[in-house]
Amino acid sequence: KPQLVASNDHFCRFLEEYCPVVTETYYPTIWCWEGRVQTLLRPFITSRPQVQYRNELIKTADGGQISLDWFDNNDSLYYPDASTRPTVLLLPGLTGTSKESYILHMIHQSGTLGYRCVVFNNRGIAGEDLLTPRTYCAANTEDLEAVIHHVHSLHPSAPFMAAGVSMGGMLLLNYLGKTGRDTPLMAAAIFSAGWNVFESVESLEKPLNWLLFNYYLTTCLQSSISRHRQMLEELFDMDLVMKARTVREFDKQFTSVMFGYRTIDDYYEDASPCRKLKSVGIPVLCLNSVDDVFSPGHAIPVETAKQNANIALVLTSCGGHIGFLEGIWPRKCTYMDRVFKQFVQAVFEHGNKIFSM
């Protein structure tokens, strides 16, 4: 049974009534219950629902561009009026895009409820060109702020919330910690966020974890920027960046330099959402598994979360990183998908009751 951590009794009762999945026993798939196995297998096991996107490129203040993929859900029976159709902004993980299976499942869940979705693809990884020598990181929220402002300006009367996965969840938490209540978002859902980047990279540098995850993730990061090498070579020693063998080395040579940090430790401190959790000003539900090697259980800020009435943590003993597989053959819905669906529906249809119960 998951551990529900929330200091606000009203928020707890709201979740128990309208998002009961967070109080149900989670039974991981028996033949792949271990966290690393769940993490490795989910992309291969889970289905990929068909989603038809409408792409939009928006310009940024520095001359760059951001790719947004819209699922307009114009056939929505529950919300036929597009101006008031609830909207969910989705933030994928570190090298993820709108094509990730977990994003497709979130959109499928939202579509059945009649909602509209828009996926925020980080700069340069969804096929669009880099117009400036700048990509993205977990600490810098400028692009996310621009996207939230843009989406809200298009549909100012529509209920609006966001969900972030892994680094997308870290970015969303850092944004919420910065803005407090000054955001058009009603609420947010966070899945498998890395709470303390120092602890995350240390865990990923253990020999087996480096072999299974760290090296592959580093090559994915390098691949995401190699297409833009000509643009980036003006500012970076790309040969050195391409020699990185860990995420920490990549961040030291590339990410921290790009965003003007004096040291990589300065960047990792700024990127860690645990340091901004007290300032979050809207209801946020966070799902983590304590066996997640990307976000080890001892680094989850349980005591800090108890100091903010807006925060609820749901902690499972198994599930890995963006895993949460359940059932004998977990092709379709995962525990994470069910938490997402119930919480989004609870916010959009009963959100006024979160702090008034």
Q: Where are the beta strands (DSSP E) in 139-194?
A: 160-165, 188-191
Q: What is the pLDDT of residue 3?
A: 97
Residue 356, pLDDT above cutoff 80: no
- Choosing from 166, 200, 224, 295, the catalytic residue is 166
Question: What is the spatial distance between Cα 302 and Cα 32, in angstroms, rounded to a whole number?
Answer: 27
Helix (H, G, I), strand (E, B) or coil at 135: coil
Q: What is the pLDDT of residue 353?
A: 87
- Asked if 129 and 140 touch (Cβ cutoff 8 Å), the reply is no
- Asked if 137 and 258 touch (Cβ cutoff 8 Å), the reply is yes
The verdict on whether 166 is a catalytic residue reads yes
H-run or E-run covering 287: strand 284-289
Tokens at 233, concatenated: 């070579």
pLDDT tens, position by position, 23-61: 999 999 999 889 999 999 998 889 999 999 999 999 999
H-run or E-run covering 265: helix 264-271
- Choosing from 69, 292, 295, 337, the catalytic residue is 292
Domains in the chain (CATH in brackets) are: 3-196+275-354 (3.40.50.1820), 197-271 (no CATH)
Q: What global pTM score does this model have?
A: 0.97
The verdict on whether 192 is a catalytic residue reads no
Q: Name the pLDDT band for 4 (thresholds 50, 70, 90).
A: very high
- Choosing from 67, 272, 321, 337, the catalytic residue is 321
Residue 204, pLDDT above cutoff 90: yes
Share of the chain above pLDDT 70, in %: 99
The verdict on whether 321 is a catalytic residue reads yes
pLDDT tens, position by position, 78-120: 999 999 999 999 999 999 999 999 999 999 999 999 999 999 9
Residue 355, pLDDT above cutoff 70: no
Which residue, 344, 334, 331, is CA-closest to 113? 344
Question: What is the spatial distance between Cα 294 and Cα 203, in angstroms, rounded to a whole number?
Answer: 7
